[in-house]
Amino acid sequence: MPPTASNALILQSGGCTPVLNRSLFGAAAEALSRQEIGAVYGARRGIEGLLKDDIIDLYLTSKPDWRRIARLPAAALGTTRHSPKPEEIPAILDCLKRLGVRFLFIIGGNDSAATGNNLAAAAQSAGQALSVVNIPKTIDNDLVLTDHTPGYGSAARFIALATLGAGLDAEAMSSAAPITFIEVMGRDAGWLAASAALAKRDERDAPHVLGLPEVPIEEDAFIGKVEEAYHRHGFCVAVIAENVRGPGGSVFGGDTAPLWEDAFGHKYFTSPTLHLARVAAKRLKVRVRDEKPGTIQRSFIPSLSIVDSKEAEEAGRAAVRRAIAGESSVIVTLVRQGDSPYRCTTGSAPLDKVANAVRRLPDDYIDRAGYFVTGKFLKYARPLIGPSLPAPTRFS
């Protein structure tokens, strides 16, 4: 190690993804290989680890362990949704200073971008040398200034496969349980719900109706679309985002107060899908299944996208290269270079432009009247989920 070497620290933050550990591996592997960096630390449970001095030396992790970690979902270091309070920042900076950390890498989404931006600004004000580079992640795909985010492709692949399977099940069980509603994650953006359409080959295939946060749901019209598909095909699958709202802006389900609000102010309500499924069952007088995969959407190992995994690692490696080159207060971005064949490189964007901002589905990706998506969305998303999905086959 040269005498000018400085130490690095990596932490994971926010909700888990299928490839969060692949970015951890990419950042650690790149940092451990660079002469400009000395020790490489990891903070357990993100910011909480810095506040509690719960730090590990990543150099001690064996290569076989790293290979296993890189292939697994969730967060090997542990993660957190803790938003550091102003009075906690000096303690965080003191921990980094005692460890000799010059490079801080935060793997996270838009909330984590705010954390990184605040820490970089505080370090600069205190005269502390600290380069902060965030590594993007979120299954919600809602970060601005990037084409897409690591984690989305794998979660989207799961949603597409789950919808395909649910459609075949509903079709086979049409005399007993012909309609299925599926509620998916995504917070306030419809990227994940939209991905349900990626396995659809023709009109008969699921999904038939999509509920997106970008489109206020007229209850009667939405159930009418479900009824129309049911009468045409003998079954119907509707996929609905967790925070769809009515024309008045309230989340479906009858409750105006959230069940839970996290440290970043994100509100979680009772299931809008359960409400809509009950309305459909009462109106159509058939059994309507209400499915809610939950965290399996971001942790189901067989649905890992090869494209997503490779890009997650490259995002981690790119963060280290940019920090060494002198960049700070930035987040790595994914820059699409082409679709035929699909090609993607990395760039960067200012943290203060990404922090707390939300990228929703653009209008030209949405068929508002049909409660569905357009071909433009399918062209955008299909390269991200990896190899082609199976095609439904029926007896003629």
CATH of the domain at 130: 3.40.50.450
Same domain? 22 vs 139: yes
Residues 253 and 185 in one domain: yes
Q: Supply the residues annotated as catalytic.
A: 140
Residue 255 has, within 13 A of its CA and on its CB side, a CA count of 13
Q: Which of 2-6, 99-103, 214-218, 301-305 has the least mean pLDDT?
A: 2-6
Task: Examine the domain organization and report whether 276 and 344 are in the same domain.
Answer: no
Kindly report the backbone phi and psi dihedral angles of residue 87, in degrees, each rounded to the nearest multiple of 5, phi listed first. -75, -15
Q: Tell whether the model's pLDDT for residue 1 goes beyond 50.
A: no
> Which stretch of 126-140, 262-276, 298-312 has the lowest confidence by average pLDDT?
262-276
Return the pLDDT at 266: 59
Q: Is residue 251 in a domain?
A: yes
Res. 330: pLDDT tops 50 = yes
- pLDDT at position 267 over 70: no
Say yes or no: 237 and 326 in one domain: no
178 and 55 co-located in one domain: no
**Do the domain assignments include residue 396?**
no
Is 393 part of any domain? no
- The more confidently predicted of residues 370 and 4 is 370
pLDDT at 246: 86
pTM (predicted TM-score) = 0.94
Q: What is the pLDDT of residue 393?
A: 87
- Within a domain: 17: yes
Measured CA distances, 110 to 83, 149, 184, 285, 293 (Å): 12, 11, 20, 43, 24
Classify residue 395: in a domain, yes or no.
no
- The 3-state DSSP composition of the chain as helix, strand, coil percent (nearest 5) reads 40, 20, 40
* Helix (H/G/I), strand (E/B), else coil: 31: helix
Strand spans (E) along 87-220 = 101-108, 131-136, 179-184, 209-211
Query: What's the token pair of residue 379?
Result: 């062209």
Let me know whether 297 and 191 are in one domain: yes
Query: Residue 3: what pLDDT?
Result: 42
pLDDT tops 90 at residue 192: yes
Which residue from 19, 44, 15 is spatially nearest to 108, judged by alpha carbons? 15
Same domain, residue pair 247 and 375 = yes
Distance separating alpha carbons of residues 55 and 343, to the nearest angstrom? 37
Domain range spanning residue 375?
A: 153-302+359-385
Whether residues 232 and 323 share a domain: the answer is: no
Same domain, yes or no, for 220 and 364?
yes
Domain co-membership, 159 together with 269: yes
Query: What is the tally of structural domains in the chain?
Result: 2
Whether residues 245 and 312 share a domain: the answer is: no
Residue 392 forms part of a structural domain: no
Per-residue pLDDT band at 108 (split at 50, 70, 90): very high
DSSP H or E segment with residue 95 = helix 89-98
Q: CATH code at 216?
A: 3.40.50.460
* % of the chain residues with pLDDT over 70: 94
236 in the same domain as 376: yes
The answer to whether residue 329 sits within a structural domain is: yes
Q: What integer best gives the mean pLDDT of the chain?
A: 94
Which residues, listed in sequence order, are joined to residue 393 by a DSSP beta bridge?
none
Residue 341 placed within a domain? yes
Tell me the mean pLDDT in the region 137-143: 98
